[in-house]
Structure 1
Amino acid sequence: MFLGHALFAFAVAALVAERRGWDGRRALLVGAVAGAFAAIPDIDVAYALVGLADWRLVGGSLGAPAAFWDASRAVHRSATHSLLVGAVAAPAFALFVVRDSSRARLVRLAGSAILVGLVALALVVDGSVSAFVMALFAASGVFVAAVAARGTSLSPSAVALAALWGLWSHPWGDLVTGSPPEWLYPLESPVLATRVVLHPDPTLHLLCAFAIELAAVWLALVTVCRLTDRSLLALVDRRAGAGVAYGLVALAATPPTLAVSYHFVFSILVVGALCGASCGVPSATTLRADGGRSVPVPGAVPLLERALTAVGAVTVALLAYATVYVAFVAPF
Protein backbone atom coordinates (compact mmCIF):
# COMPACT_ATOMS: atom_id res chain seq x y z
CA MET A 1 0.00 0.00 0.00
CA PHE A 2 3.04 2.33 0.10
CA LEU A 3 2.38 3.69 -3.38
CA GLY A 4 -1.37 3.92 -2.94
CA HIS A 5 -1.13 6.20 0.10
CA ALA A 6 0.88 8.79 -1.79
CA LEU A 7 -1.05 8.62 -5.06
CA PHE A 8 -4.47 8.87 -3.39
CA ALA A 9 -3.41 11.92 -1.38
CA PHE A 10 -1.88 13.46 -4.51
CA ALA A 11 -5.00 12.97 -6.60
CA VAL A 12 -7.50 14.29 -4.07
CA ALA A 13 -5.38 17.33 -3.18
CA ALA A 14 -4.81 18.20 -6.85
CA LEU A 15 -8.47 17.80 -7.78
CA VAL A 16 -9.61 19.91 -4.81
CA ALA A 17 -7.09 22.60 -5.74
CA GLU A 18 -8.37 22.61 -9.32
CA ARG A 19 -11.95 22.87 -8.14
CA ARG A 20 -11.00 25.91 -6.09
CA GLY A 21 -9.71 27.64 -9.20
CA TRP A 22 -6.00 26.79 -9.18
CA ASP A 23 -4.34 26.31 -12.57
CA GLY A 24 -3.22 22.82 -13.55
CA ARG A 25 0.46 23.29 -12.70
CA ARG A 26 -0.12 24.64 -9.20
CA ALA A 27 -2.76 21.99 -8.53
CA LEU A 28 -0.29 19.28 -9.51
CA LEU A 29 2.36 20.86 -7.27
CA VAL A 30 0.18 20.92 -4.18
CA GLY A 31 -0.90 17.38 -4.99
CA ALA A 32 2.73 16.28 -5.19
CA VAL A 33 3.45 17.87 -1.82
CA ALA A 34 0.44 16.15 -0.25
CA GLY A 35 1.50 12.84 -1.77
CA ALA A 36 5.02 13.20 -0.40
CA PHE A 37 3.69 13.86 3.09
CA ALA A 38 1.32 10.89 2.76
CA ALA A 39 4.29 8.60 2.19
CA ILE A 40 6.17 9.79 5.28
CA PRO A 41 4.34 7.73 7.96
CA ASP A 42 5.73 4.52 6.47
CA ILE A 43 9.24 5.69 7.30
CA ASP A 44 8.72 3.57 10.41
CA VAL A 45 9.49 0.45 8.38
CA ALA A 46 13.11 1.63 8.33
CA TYR A 47 13.51 -0.02 11.71
CA ALA A 48 12.51 -3.32 10.13
CA LEU A 49 15.81 -3.36 8.25
CA VAL A 50 17.35 -4.74 11.42
CA GLY A 51 15.28 -7.85 10.82
CA LEU A 52 17.15 -8.55 7.60
CA ALA A 53 20.32 -9.12 9.62
CA ASP A 54 18.72 -12.24 11.08
CA TRP A 55 16.77 -13.43 8.07
CA ARG A 56 18.81 -16.61 7.74
CA LEU A 57 17.24 -17.74 11.00
CA VAL A 58 13.87 -17.93 9.24
CA GLY A 59 13.47 -21.04 7.13
CA GLY A 60 12.23 -21.16 3.58
CA SER A 61 12.73 -19.08 0.48
CA LEU A 62 10.71 -16.23 1.95
CA GLY A 63 12.97 -15.88 5.00
CA ALA A 64 14.12 -12.35 4.24
CA PRO A 65 10.61 -10.86 3.72
CA ALA A 66 9.31 -12.69 6.80
CA ALA A 67 12.16 -11.38 8.95
CA PHE A 68 11.62 -7.87 7.62
CA TRP A 69 7.91 -7.76 8.42
CA ASP A 70 8.32 -9.50 11.77
CA ALA A 71 10.75 -6.79 12.84
CA SER A 72 8.48 -4.04 11.50
CA ARG A 73 5.66 -5.01 13.86
CA ALA A 74 7.57 -3.47 16.76
CA VAL A 75 6.80 0.08 15.62
CA HIS A 76 4.89 -0.03 12.33
CA ARG A 77 1.57 1.86 12.24
CA SER A 78 2.05 3.37 15.67
CA ALA A 79 3.40 6.86 16.38
CA THR A 80 3.85 7.98 12.78
CA HIS A 81 0.31 6.94 11.83
CA SER A 82 -1.43 8.82 14.63
CA LEU A 83 -4.00 11.45 13.72
CA LEU A 84 -3.00 13.40 16.81
CA VAL A 85 0.66 13.36 15.84
CA GLY A 86 -0.28 14.42 12.32
CA ALA A 87 -2.33 17.34 13.61
CA VAL A 88 0.70 18.60 15.56
CA ALA A 89 3.38 17.79 12.96
CA ALA A 90 1.65 19.28 9.89
CA PRO A 91 1.76 22.94 11.03
CA ALA A 92 5.26 22.38 12.41
CA PHE A 93 6.45 21.20 8.99
CA ALA A 94 4.79 24.22 7.34
CA LEU A 95 6.86 26.57 9.49
CA PHE A 96 9.90 25.49 7.49
CA VAL A 97 8.30 26.96 4.35
CA VAL A 98 8.27 30.53 5.67
CA ARG A 99 10.39 32.57 3.25
CA ASP A 100 10.43 35.93 5.06
CA SER A 101 14.10 36.21 6.06
CA SER A 102 13.29 38.49 8.99
CA ARG A 103 11.37 35.81 10.83
CA ALA A 104 12.27 32.56 9.08
CA ARG A 105 14.87 31.57 11.69
CA LEU A 106 12.48 32.20 14.58
CA VAL A 107 9.57 30.22 13.12
CA ARG A 108 11.86 27.37 12.12
CA LEU A 109 13.14 27.20 15.68
CA ALA A 110 9.52 26.98 16.80
CA GLY A 111 8.88 24.19 14.31
CA SER A 112 12.00 22.36 15.49
CA ALA A 113 10.88 22.67 19.10
CA ILE A 114 7.50 21.12 18.28
CA LEU A 115 9.10 18.22 16.43
CA VAL A 116 11.66 17.63 19.19
CA GLY A 117 8.72 17.53 21.58
CA LEU A 118 7.13 14.75 19.51
CA VAL A 119 10.39 12.77 19.61
CA ALA A 120 10.58 13.25 23.38
CA LEU A 121 6.98 12.11 23.74
CA ALA A 122 7.71 8.92 21.80
CA LEU A 123 10.77 8.30 23.98
CA VAL A 124 8.76 8.64 27.19
CA VAL A 125 5.81 6.58 25.98
CA ASP A 126 7.51 3.74 24.08
CA GLY A 127 11.27 4.03 24.47
CA SER A 128 14.25 4.59 22.22
CA VAL A 129 13.05 2.65 19.17
CA SER A 130 9.87 4.69 18.92
CA ALA A 131 11.86 7.89 19.45
CA PHE A 132 14.23 6.89 16.65
CA VAL A 133 11.31 6.30 14.29
CA MET A 134 9.70 9.60 15.29
CA ALA A 135 12.98 11.38 14.60
CA LEU A 136 13.06 9.86 11.10
CA PHE A 137 9.46 10.97 10.63
CA ALA A 138 10.29 14.53 11.70
CA ALA A 139 13.40 14.72 9.51
CA SER A 140 11.48 13.41 6.49
CA GLY A 141 8.74 15.99 6.96
CA VAL A 142 11.26 18.82 7.26
CA PHE A 143 12.95 17.60 4.07
CA VAL A 144 9.66 17.62 2.13
CA ALA A 145 8.85 21.09 3.47
CA ALA A 146 12.31 22.35 2.49
CA VAL A 147 11.89 21.00 -1.05
CA ALA A 148 8.45 22.64 -1.25
CA ALA A 149 9.93 25.95 -0.08
CA ARG A 150 12.70 25.85 -2.69
CA GLY A 151 10.85 24.32 -5.61
CA THR A 152 7.38 25.85 -5.37
CA SER A 153 5.67 29.10 -4.56
CA LEU A 154 3.18 27.44 -2.24
CA SER A 155 2.40 29.39 0.91
CA PRO A 156 3.02 27.95 4.38
CA SER A 157 -0.74 27.62 4.89
CA ALA A 158 -1.10 25.64 1.66
CA VAL A 159 1.76 23.35 2.67
CA ALA A 160 0.22 22.95 6.14
CA LEU A 161 -3.08 21.82 4.62
CA ALA A 162 -1.30 19.53 2.16
CA ALA A 163 0.74 18.02 4.99
CA LEU A 164 -2.31 17.55 7.19
CA TRP A 165 -4.26 15.89 4.38
CA GLY A 166 -1.34 13.65 3.50
CA LEU A 167 -0.71 12.54 7.08
CA TRP A 168 -4.39 12.08 7.89
CA SER A 169 -5.27 10.23 4.70
CA HIS A 170 -2.50 7.67 5.14
CA PRO A 171 -3.77 5.44 7.99
CA TRP A 172 -7.08 4.56 6.37
CA GLY A 173 -5.47 2.49 3.65
CA ASP A 174 -4.01 0.17 6.27
CA LEU A 175 -7.39 -1.01 7.49
CA VAL A 176 -7.56 -3.85 4.97
CA THR A 177 -3.92 -4.93 4.74
CA GLY A 178 -2.76 -5.51 8.29
CA SER A 179 -3.25 -4.50 11.87
CA PRO A 180 -5.02 -1.11 12.15
CA PRO A 181 -2.89 1.91 13.06
CA GLU A 182 -2.82 3.51 16.49
CA TRP A 183 -5.18 6.30 15.51
CA LEU A 184 -4.81 8.44 18.62
CA TYR A 185 -1.27 7.61 19.74
CA PRO A 186 -0.17 8.12 22.51
CA LEU A 187 -3.78 7.61 23.67
CA GLU A 188 -5.74 4.40 23.33
CA SER A 189 -8.11 4.22 20.37
CA PRO A 190 -11.53 2.71 21.13
CA VAL A 191 -12.64 2.30 17.49
CA LEU A 192 -11.45 0.44 14.40
CA ALA A 193 -9.23 -1.85 16.42
CA THR A 194 -9.39 -4.80 14.01
CA ARG A 195 -8.74 -5.31 10.30
CA VAL A 196 -11.64 -4.77 7.91
CA VAL A 197 -12.33 -8.08 6.16
CA LEU A 198 -13.39 -7.55 2.55
CA HIS A 199 -14.18 -11.23 1.90
CA PRO A 200 -14.04 -14.35 4.08
CA ASP A 201 -11.89 -16.10 1.48
CA PRO A 202 -8.32 -14.90 2.20
CA THR A 203 -7.33 -14.86 -1.47
CA LEU A 204 -10.33 -12.81 -2.52
CA HIS A 205 -9.65 -10.47 0.39
CA LEU A 206 -6.14 -9.92 -0.98
CA LEU A 207 -7.43 -9.40 -4.50
CA CYS A 208 -9.92 -6.81 -3.24
CA ALA A 209 -7.19 -5.02 -1.28
CA PHE A 210 -4.99 -5.03 -4.38
CA ALA A 211 -7.90 -3.62 -6.38
CA ILE A 212 -8.21 -0.73 -3.92
CA GLU A 213 -4.52 0.02 -4.38
CA LEU A 214 -4.95 -0.15 -8.14
CA ALA A 215 -7.91 2.22 -7.96
CA ALA A 216 -5.71 4.77 -6.18
CA VAL A 217 -3.15 4.50 -8.98
CA TRP A 218 -5.85 4.98 -11.61
CA LEU A 219 -7.22 8.01 -9.76
CA ALA A 220 -3.77 9.60 -9.80
CA LEU A 221 -3.32 8.91 -13.52
CA VAL A 222 -6.77 10.26 -14.33
CA THR A 223 -5.91 13.38 -12.35
CA VAL A 224 -2.67 13.92 -14.28
CA CYS A 225 -4.49 13.48 -17.59
CA ARG A 226 -7.24 15.87 -16.53
CA LEU A 227 -4.90 18.60 -15.33
CA THR A 228 -2.64 18.34 -18.38
CA ASP A 229 -5.50 18.13 -20.90
CA ARG A 230 -4.62 14.68 -22.19
CA SER A 231 -6.89 11.84 -23.22
CA LEU A 232 -6.49 8.84 -20.94
CA LEU A 233 -7.96 6.31 -23.37
CA ALA A 234 -5.82 7.55 -26.25
CA LEU A 235 -2.66 6.95 -24.22
CA VAL A 236 -3.36 3.33 -23.27
CA ASP A 237 -1.63 1.03 -25.74
CA ARG A 238 -3.49 -2.09 -26.89
CA ARG A 239 -0.62 -4.19 -25.53
CA ALA A 240 -2.28 -3.80 -22.13
CA GLY A 241 -4.69 -6.53 -23.24
CA ALA A 242 -1.86 -9.06 -23.02
CA GLY A 243 -2.43 -9.07 -19.28
CA VAL A 244 -5.39 -11.40 -19.81
CA ALA A 245 -2.95 -14.32 -20.07
CA TYR A 246 -2.11 -13.85 -16.40
CA GLY A 247 -5.40 -15.54 -15.53
CA LEU A 248 -3.73 -18.91 -16.15
CA VAL A 249 -1.47 -18.28 -13.15
CA ALA A 250 -4.46 -18.91 -10.89
CA LEU A 251 -4.43 -22.54 -12.05
CA ALA A 252 -0.71 -23.09 -11.58
CA ALA A 253 0.42 -21.10 -8.51
CA THR A 254 -0.49 -21.28 -4.84
CA PRO A 255 -3.36 -18.87 -4.14
CA PRO A 256 -1.96 -15.74 -2.48
CA THR A 257 -3.07 -14.36 0.89
CA LEU A 258 -2.01 -11.41 3.01
CA ALA A 259 0.41 -13.74 4.79
CA VAL A 260 2.08 -14.93 1.57
CA SER A 261 1.48 -12.59 -1.33
CA TYR A 262 4.95 -11.93 -2.74
CA HIS A 263 4.68 -14.34 -5.66
CA PHE A 264 1.39 -12.78 -6.77
CA VAL A 265 2.33 -9.13 -6.31
CA PHE A 266 5.75 -9.38 -7.91
CA SER A 267 4.59 -11.46 -10.87
CA ILE A 268 1.58 -9.31 -11.73
CA LEU A 269 3.71 -6.17 -11.52
CA VAL A 270 6.22 -7.77 -13.87
CA VAL A 271 3.40 -8.31 -16.38
CA GLY A 272 2.55 -4.62 -16.19
CA ALA A 273 6.18 -3.55 -16.43
CA LEU A 274 6.77 -5.69 -19.53
CA CYS A 275 3.65 -4.39 -21.26
CA GLY A 276 4.59 -0.81 -20.45
CA ALA A 277 8.18 -1.27 -21.58
CA SER A 278 7.07 -2.81 -24.88
CA CYS A 279 4.78 0.10 -25.62
CA GLY A 280 6.01 1.06 -29.08
CA VAL A 281 3.67 3.72 -30.41
CA PRO A 282 5.97 6.63 -31.22
CA SER A 283 5.10 10.02 -29.80
CA ALA A 284 7.22 11.93 -32.32
CA THR A 285 8.91 11.27 -35.66
CA THR A 286 11.98 12.87 -37.12
CA LEU A 287 13.26 12.44 -40.64
CA ARG A 288 16.76 11.70 -41.87
CA ALA A 289 18.20 11.20 -45.31
CA ASP A 290 19.07 7.64 -46.29
CA GLY A 291 20.07 7.07 -49.89
CA GLY A 292 18.02 9.98 -51.07
CA ARG A 293 14.90 8.78 -49.26
CA SER A 294 13.38 10.07 -46.03
CA VAL A 295 13.09 7.38 -43.38
CA PRO A 296 10.95 7.83 -40.20
CA VAL A 297 12.79 7.39 -36.93
CA PRO A 298 10.55 6.57 -33.95
CA GLY A 299 10.72 9.03 -31.08
CA ALA A 300 10.51 8.29 -27.40
CA VAL A 301 7.23 6.97 -26.02
CA PRO A 302 5.99 9.33 -23.27
CA LEU A 303 6.41 8.10 -19.71
CA LEU A 304 2.70 8.72 -19.06
CA GLU A 305 1.76 6.45 -21.97
CA ARG A 306 4.01 3.70 -20.64
CA ALA A 307 2.58 4.11 -17.14
CA LEU A 308 -1.01 3.96 -18.34
CA THR A 309 -0.30 0.91 -20.46
CA ALA A 310 1.44 -0.83 -17.56
CA VAL A 311 -1.39 -0.09 -15.12
CA GLY A 312 -3.93 -1.11 -17.74
CA ALA A 313 -2.13 -4.44 -18.16
CA VAL A 314 -2.09 -5.00 -14.39
CA THR A 315 -5.81 -4.24 -14.26
CA VAL A 316 -6.59 -6.70 -17.05
CA ALA A 317 -4.34 -9.28 -15.35
CA LEU A 318 -6.10 -8.82 -12.01
CA LEU A 319 -9.55 -9.21 -13.55
CA ALA A 320 -8.43 -12.31 -15.46
CA TYR A 321 -6.84 -13.86 -12.37
CA ALA A 322 -9.92 -13.15 -10.22
CA THR A 323 -12.23 -14.62 -12.87
CA VAL A 324 -10.25 -17.84 -13.18
CA TYR A 325 -9.81 -18.14 -9.42
CA VAL A 326 -13.53 -17.76 -8.71
CA ALA A 327 -14.51 -20.09 -11.55
CA PHE A 328 -12.05 -22.93 -10.98
CA VAL A 329 -10.04 -22.59 -7.76
CA ALA A 330 -12.06 -20.93 -4.99
CA PRO A 331 -13.30 -23.37 -2.33
CA PHE A 332 -16.97 -22.44 -2.63
Structure 2
Amino acid sequence: MAACSPFHRTKELVMTQLRQRMSEDMQVRNLALNTQRSYLQQVSLFARYFGKSPDLLGREDIRTYQVYLTNEKKLAPGSIHTAIAALRFLYSVTLEWDWAPEEVLPLPKKPQKLPIVLGPEEVQQFLGCVLDVKHHAILTTCYAAGLRISEAVQLKPTDIDSQRMVVRVEQGKGQKDCYVMLSPKLLEILRTYWKVRRPETWLFPGDRAGEPITRDAVGHACAKARDRSGLSKPVTPHSLRHAFAVHLLEAGADVRTIQLLLGHRSLATTAHYLRIATNKVCATSSPFELLPRPAATLPPPAKPQYF
Protein backbone atom coordinates (compact mmCIF):
# COMPACT_ATOMS: atom_id res chain seq x y z
CA MET A 1 0.00 0.00 0.00
CA ALA A 2 1.49 3.34 -1.08
CA ALA A 3 2.32 5.86 1.62
CA CYS A 4 0.24 9.02 1.77
CA SER A 5 1.88 12.19 0.52
CA PRO A 6 2.57 15.00 3.01
CA PHE A 7 -0.16 17.01 1.24
CA HIS A 8 -2.78 14.33 1.88
CA ARG A 9 -1.67 13.93 5.49
CA THR A 10 -1.96 17.69 6.04
CA LYS A 11 -5.40 17.83 4.42
CA GLU A 12 -6.57 14.89 6.52
CA LEU A 13 -5.25 16.54 9.67
CA VAL A 14 -7.04 19.82 8.87
CA MET A 15 -10.28 17.99 8.17
CA THR A 16 -9.96 16.02 11.40
CA GLN A 17 -9.37 19.19 13.43
CA LEU A 18 -12.29 20.94 11.72
CA ARG A 19 -14.53 17.92 12.31
CA GLN A 20 -13.55 17.87 15.98
CA ARG A 21 -14.26 21.58 16.35
CA MET A 22 -17.65 21.30 14.67
CA SER A 23 -18.50 18.32 16.86
CA GLU A 24 -17.62 20.30 20.00
CA ASP A 25 -19.66 23.28 18.79
CA MET A 26 -22.71 21.04 18.45
CA GLN A 27 -22.10 19.43 21.84
CA VAL A 28 -21.91 22.74 23.73
CA ARG A 29 -25.19 23.75 22.05
CA ASN A 30 -26.70 20.44 23.17
CA LEU A 31 -27.86 19.38 19.72
CA ALA A 32 -29.46 15.94 19.59
CA LEU A 33 -27.05 13.07 18.96
CA ASN A 34 -28.83 12.11 15.74
CA THR A 35 -28.52 15.71 14.53
CA GLN A 36 -24.81 15.76 15.35
CA ARG A 37 -24.18 12.54 13.42
CA SER A 38 -26.24 13.71 10.47
CA TYR A 39 -24.50 17.10 10.25
CA LEU A 40 -21.03 15.55 10.38
CA GLN A 41 -21.99 13.06 7.68
CA GLN A 42 -23.38 15.81 5.42
CA VAL A 43 -20.25 17.97 5.76
CA SER A 44 -18.08 14.93 5.07
CA LEU A 45 -20.01 14.26 1.83
CA PHE A 46 -19.63 17.91 0.85
CA ALA A 47 -15.84 17.81 1.39
CA ARG A 48 -15.53 14.48 -0.42
CA TYR A 49 -17.36 15.86 -3.46
CA PHE A 50 -14.68 18.53 -3.99
CA GLY A 51 -11.76 16.62 -2.48
CA LYS A 52 -10.98 19.59 -0.24
CA SER A 53 -11.43 20.69 3.32
CA PRO A 54 -14.59 22.84 3.62
CA ASP A 55 -12.61 25.84 4.93
CA LEU A 56 -10.92 26.00 1.50
CA LEU A 57 -14.24 26.20 -0.36
CA GLY A 58 -16.26 29.31 -1.11
CA ARG A 59 -19.74 30.46 -2.03
CA GLU A 60 -19.57 29.30 -5.65
CA ASP A 61 -18.54 25.82 -4.50
CA ILE A 62 -21.51 25.72 -2.14
CA ARG A 63 -23.84 26.78 -4.95
CA THR A 64 -22.36 24.13 -7.26
CA TYR A 65 -22.98 21.50 -4.60
CA GLN A 66 -26.60 22.56 -4.18
CA VAL A 67 -27.16 22.26 -7.93
CA TYR A 68 -25.51 18.82 -7.81
CA LEU A 69 -27.80 17.61 -5.02
CA THR A 70 -30.87 18.90 -6.85
CA ASN A 71 -30.18 18.00 -10.48
CA GLU A 72 -27.82 15.02 -10.37
CA LYS A 73 -28.50 13.33 -7.05
CA LYS A 74 -32.18 14.30 -7.35
CA LEU A 75 -32.59 14.39 -3.60
CA ALA A 76 -35.94 15.18 -2.05
CA PRO A 77 -36.31 18.68 -0.56
CA GLY A 78 -36.25 17.21 2.95
CA SER A 79 -32.85 15.60 2.34
CA ILE A 80 -31.49 18.82 0.85
CA HIS A 81 -32.76 20.69 3.93
CA THR A 82 -30.59 18.47 6.12
CA ALA A 83 -27.49 19.03 3.99
CA ILE A 84 -28.00 22.80 3.94
CA ALA A 85 -28.66 22.96 7.69
CA ALA A 86 -25.35 21.17 8.28
CA LEU A 87 -23.44 23.57 6.00
CA ARG A 88 -25.12 26.58 7.60
CA PHE A 89 -23.95 25.41 11.00
CA LEU A 90 -20.42 24.75 9.77
CA TYR A 91 -19.89 28.11 8.11
CA SER A 92 -21.84 30.39 10.44
CA VAL A 93 -20.92 28.77 13.77
CA THR A 94 -17.73 26.74 13.48
CA LEU A 95 -15.93 28.75 10.80
CA GLU A 96 -17.60 32.01 11.90
CA TRP A 97 -17.99 33.38 8.39
CA ASP A 98 -19.46 36.86 8.30
CA TRP A 99 -22.30 36.23 5.88
CA ALA A 100 -26.03 35.68 5.72
CA PRO A 101 -26.38 31.89 5.41
CA GLU A 102 -30.04 32.11 4.39
CA GLU A 103 -28.95 34.09 1.29
CA VAL A 104 -26.00 31.89 0.30
CA LEU A 105 -27.73 28.66 1.31
CA PRO A 106 -31.42 29.01 0.47
CA LEU A 107 -33.74 26.19 1.46
CA PRO A 108 -35.82 24.55 -1.28
CA LYS A 109 -39.55 24.79 -0.85
CA LYS A 110 -41.04 21.59 0.50
CA PRO A 111 -44.17 20.29 -1.21
CA GLN A 112 -47.11 20.03 1.19
CA LYS A 113 -48.05 16.36 1.04
CA LEU A 114 -50.61 14.63 3.20
CA PRO A 115 -49.63 11.27 4.72
CA ILE A 116 -51.65 8.20 3.80
CA VAL A 117 -53.40 7.19 7.01
CA LEU A 118 -54.55 3.72 8.04
CA GLY A 119 -58.12 3.28 9.21
CA PRO A 120 -58.84 1.66 12.61
CA GLU A 121 -59.64 -1.69 10.97
CA GLU A 122 -56.42 -1.53 8.95
CA VAL A 123 -54.37 -0.83 12.08
CA GLN A 124 -55.92 -3.85 13.74
CA GLN A 125 -55.27 -5.96 10.65
CA PHE A 126 -51.64 -4.83 10.55
CA LEU A 127 -50.91 -5.39 14.24
CA GLY A 128 -52.46 -8.84 13.99
CA CYS A 129 -49.73 -9.74 11.49
CA VAL A 130 -46.82 -8.75 13.77
CA LEU A 131 -45.83 -12.21 14.98
CA ASP A 132 -42.89 -11.56 17.31
CA VAL A 133 -44.08 -10.59 20.80
CA LYS A 134 -41.47 -7.82 21.23
CA HIS A 135 -42.13 -6.32 17.80
CA HIS A 136 -45.86 -6.50 18.41
CA ALA A 137 -45.46 -4.72 21.75
CA ILE A 138 -43.32 -1.86 20.43
CA LEU A 139 -45.42 -1.25 17.30
CA THR A 140 -48.59 -1.33 19.38
CA THR A 141 -46.99 1.23 21.69
CA CYS A 142 -46.25 3.51 18.72
CA TYR A 143 -49.94 3.50 17.84
CA ALA A 144 -51.57 3.40 21.28
CA ALA A 145 -49.39 6.19 22.73
CA GLY A 146 -48.63 8.09 19.51
CA LEU A 147 -44.88 7.77 20.01
CA ARG A 148 -42.12 8.44 17.53
CA ILE A 149 -40.03 5.35 16.88
CA SER A 150 -36.99 7.17 18.32
CA GLU A 151 -38.95 7.59 21.57
CA ALA A 152 -40.34 4.05 21.67
CA VAL A 153 -36.95 2.34 21.34
CA GLN A 154 -35.60 4.35 24.30
CA LEU A 155 -38.32 3.33 26.76
CA LYS A 156 -37.36 1.62 30.01
CA PRO A 157 -39.62 -0.66 32.11
CA THR A 158 -39.69 2.06 34.78
CA ASP A 159 -41.23 4.51 32.26
CA ILE A 160 -44.52 2.58 32.37
CA ASP A 161 -46.48 4.13 35.24
CA SER A 162 -49.55 1.95 35.79
CA GLN A 163 -50.60 3.96 38.86
CA ARG A 164 -51.08 7.19 36.93
CA MET A 165 -51.71 5.37 33.61
CA VAL A 166 -49.04 7.36 31.76
CA VAL A 167 -45.85 6.59 29.84
CA ARG A 168 -42.84 8.77 30.59
CA VAL A 169 -40.93 9.81 27.47
CA GLU A 170 -37.45 10.88 28.49
CA GLN A 171 -35.64 13.36 26.24
CA GLY A 172 -37.92 13.04 23.23
CA LYS A 173 -37.65 15.24 20.15
CA GLY A 174 -36.38 18.66 21.10
CA GLN A 175 -34.78 17.01 24.16
CA LYS A 176 -37.93 17.37 26.20
CA ASP A 177 -39.37 15.03 28.82
CA CYS A 178 -43.10 14.45 28.63
CA TYR A 179 -45.89 12.07 29.60
CA VAL A 180 -48.27 10.39 27.18
CA MET A 181 -51.36 8.29 27.73
CA LEU A 182 -51.18 4.63 28.75
CA SER A 183 -54.31 2.85 27.64
CA PRO A 184 -55.50 -0.15 29.69
CA LYS A 185 -55.33 -2.41 26.60
CA LEU A 186 -51.72 -1.35 25.94
CA LEU A 187 -50.83 -1.96 29.58
CA GLU A 188 -52.22 -5.49 29.28
CA ILE A 189 -50.14 -6.14 26.15
CA LEU A 190 -46.97 -4.76 27.79
CA ARG A 191 -47.51 -6.90 30.91
CA THR A 192 -47.94 -10.02 28.79
CA TYR A 193 -44.77 -9.14 26.85
CA TRP A 194 -42.82 -8.47 30.07
CA LYS A 195 -43.78 -11.86 31.51
CA VAL A 196 -42.45 -13.57 28.36
CA ARG A 197 -39.21 -11.61 27.80
CA ARG A 198 -38.45 -10.10 31.25
CA PRO A 199 -36.60 -7.01 29.90
CA GLU A 200 -34.37 -5.21 32.39
CA THR A 201 -32.50 -2.05 31.34
CA TRP A 202 -34.50 -1.36 28.19
CA LEU A 203 -38.16 -2.17 27.70
CA PHE A 204 -37.35 -3.31 24.16
CA PRO A 205 -33.76 -4.60 24.20
CA GLY A 206 -31.79 -5.13 21.00
CA ASP A 207 -29.57 -7.96 19.84
CA ARG A 208 -26.48 -6.32 21.34
CA ALA A 209 -26.22 -6.72 25.10
CA GLY A 210 -27.06 -3.59 27.03
CA GLU A 211 -28.47 -1.70 24.04
CA PRO A 212 -32.07 -1.00 22.99
CA ILE A 213 -33.59 -2.32 19.81
CA THR A 214 -32.61 -0.27 16.76
CA ARG A 215 -35.01 1.74 14.66
CA ASP A 216 -33.91 -0.25 11.62
CA ALA A 217 -34.89 -3.51 13.32
CA VAL A 218 -38.36 -2.15 14.11
CA GLY A 219 -38.70 -0.83 10.55
CA HIS A 220 -37.78 -4.25 9.14
CA ALA A 221 -40.34 -5.97 11.38
CA CYS A 222 -42.92 -3.40 10.29
CA ALA A 223 -42.25 -4.10 6.61
CA LYS A 224 -42.58 -7.87 7.10
CA ALA A 225 -45.90 -7.46 8.93
CA ARG A 226 -47.20 -5.15 6.22
CA ASP A 227 -46.41 -7.78 3.58
CA ARG A 228 -48.23 -10.43 5.60
CA SER A 229 -51.25 -8.17 6.11
CA GLY A 230 -51.88 -7.66 2.40
CA LEU A 231 -52.53 -3.95 2.95
CA SER A 232 -52.04 -1.77 -0.11
CA LYS A 233 -51.21 1.34 1.93
CA PRO A 234 -47.62 1.99 3.00
CA VAL A 235 -47.00 1.24 6.67
CA THR A 236 -44.08 2.51 8.76
CA PRO A 237 -43.73 3.03 12.51
CA HIS A 238 -44.44 6.73 11.90
CA SER A 239 -47.63 5.79 10.03
CA LEU A 240 -48.94 4.47 13.34
CA ARG A 241 -48.27 7.84 14.99
CA HIS A 242 -50.18 9.58 12.18
CA ALA A 243 -53.05 7.14 12.65
CA PHE A 244 -53.07 7.82 16.41
CA ALA A 245 -53.53 11.56 15.84
CA VAL A 246 -56.14 11.26 13.10
CA HIS A 247 -58.21 8.64 14.92
CA LEU A 248 -58.24 10.79 18.07
CA LEU A 249 -59.35 13.81 16.05
CA GLU A 250 -62.10 11.85 14.34
CA ALA A 251 -63.24 10.57 17.74
CA GLY A 252 -63.80 14.13 18.92
CA ALA A 253 -60.54 15.07 20.69
CA ASP A 254 -59.60 18.74 20.35
CA VAL A 255 -56.46 19.82 18.52
CA ARG A 256 -54.82 21.32 21.63
CA THR A 257 -55.06 18.00 23.49
CA ILE A 258 -53.59 16.15 20.52
CA GLN A 259 -50.77 18.69 20.36
CA LEU A 260 -49.83 17.91 23.96
CA LEU A 261 -50.02 14.16 23.39
CA LEU A 262 -47.85 14.34 20.28
CA GLY A 263 -45.35 16.73 21.87
CA HIS A 264 -45.61 19.27 19.04
CA ARG A 265 -44.04 22.63 19.77
CA SER A 266 -46.41 24.47 17.46
CA LEU A 267 -50.17 24.08 17.24
CA ALA A 268 -49.86 24.70 13.49
CA THR A 269 -48.01 21.38 13.14
CA THR A 270 -50.87 19.51 14.80
CA ALA A 271 -53.45 21.43 12.79
CA HIS A 272 -52.22 19.70 9.63
CA TYR A 273 -54.14 16.63 10.81
CA LEU A 274 -57.36 18.56 10.32
CA ARG A 275 -56.78 18.17 6.58
CA ILE A 276 -56.61 14.38 6.95
CA ALA A 277 -59.48 13.69 9.33
CA THR A 278 -62.12 12.75 6.74
CA ASN A 279 -64.81 12.05 9.34
CA LYS A 280 -64.58 15.68 10.46
CA VAL A 281 -64.42 17.07 6.93
CA CYS A 282 -67.10 14.88 5.39
CA ALA A 283 -69.47 15.19 8.35
CA THR A 284 -69.92 18.88 7.58
CA SER A 285 -72.81 19.60 5.24
CA SER A 286 -72.09 21.28 1.96
CA PRO A 287 -73.73 24.72 1.58
CA PHE A 288 -75.37 23.25 -1.51
CA GLU A 289 -77.60 21.28 0.87
CA LEU A 290 -78.89 24.56 2.34
CA LEU A 291 -80.14 25.94 -0.97
CA PRO A 292 -83.94 25.90 -1.37
CA ARG A 293 -85.15 23.14 -3.58
CA PRO A 294 -86.52 24.28 -6.94
CA ALA A 295 -90.27 24.03 -7.44
CA ALA A 296 -91.35 20.78 -8.98
CA THR A 297 -92.05 21.17 -12.71
CA LEU A 298 -95.19 19.55 -14.07
CA PRO A 299 -94.89 17.43 -17.20
CA PRO A 300 -96.52 18.85 -20.33
CA PRO A 301 -100.11 17.66 -20.94
CA ALA A 302 -100.35 14.56 -23.04
CA LYS A 303 -101.48 15.01 -26.63
CA PRO A 304 -104.75 13.27 -27.51
CA GLN A 305 -104.43 10.03 -29.45
CA TYR A 306 -106.59 9.81 -32.64
CA PHE A 307 -105.34 6.57 -34.08
TM-score range, shorter chain: under 0.3
State TM-score, norm by structure 1: 0.24
Structure number with higher helix proportion: 1
Q: Considering Cα pairs closer than 8 Å and 6+ residues apart, tell me whether 1 or 2 has the greater RCO.
A: 1
* Bigger Cα Rg: 2
State the TM-score, normalized to the length of structure 2. 0.25
